[in-house]
């Protein structure tokens, strides 16, 4: 049986940061794929200041069992003080794609 697949969203301030983060998470086998989507414009309040920033959205594909490790590593590597980490379970995934994601992501090591 295949593990559940999740989409994880985060954003970076530059394309270079987004690519560096995505590449690293894939190389470390915490995500099967990282898609960098430049051109996002974000409006938000940070430290009581209204902000408008251009960002790159990073969409990561991973498995349910890898989510906690992915979150911890993303927060460790991310250049933002408070990085976005939003995980959404995929309701329907093509079986071949789900199998590829599962094969590409290393399951977390279970404590002894």
Q: What per-residue confidence (pLDDT) applies to 111? A: 56
Give the tens place of pLDDT for each residue, 12-21.
Answer: 999 999 999 9
Q: What per-residue confidence (pLDDT) applies to 110? A: 59
Q: What per-residue confidence (pLDDT) applies to 107? A: 75
Residue scoring higher pLDDT (51 or 1): 51
Q: What per-residue confidence (pLDDT) applies to 1? A: 86
Kindly list the structural domains of the chain, giving each domain's residue range(s) and its CATH number in brackets, ordered by start.
Answer: 5-104 (3.30.70.120)
- Is the pTM higher than 0.95? The answer reads no
| Strands laid side by side in the 33-46 sheet | 33-46, 49-63, 5-12, 86-89
């Amino acid at each position: 049986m295949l593990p559940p697949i999740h989409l994880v969203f985060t954003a970076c301030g530059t394309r270079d940061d987004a690519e560096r983060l995505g590449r690293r998470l894939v190389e470390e086998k915490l995500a099967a794929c990282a898609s960098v989507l430049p051109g996002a414009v974000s409006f938000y309040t940070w430290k009581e200041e209204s902000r408008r920033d251009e960002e790159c959205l990073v969409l990561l594909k991973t498995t349910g069992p890898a989510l906690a490790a992915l979150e911890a590593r993303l927060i460790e590597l991310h250049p933002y003080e408070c990085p976005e980490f939003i995980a959404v379970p995929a309701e329907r995934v093509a079986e071949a794609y789900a199998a590829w994601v599962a094969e590409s992501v290393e399951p977390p090591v279970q404590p002894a």
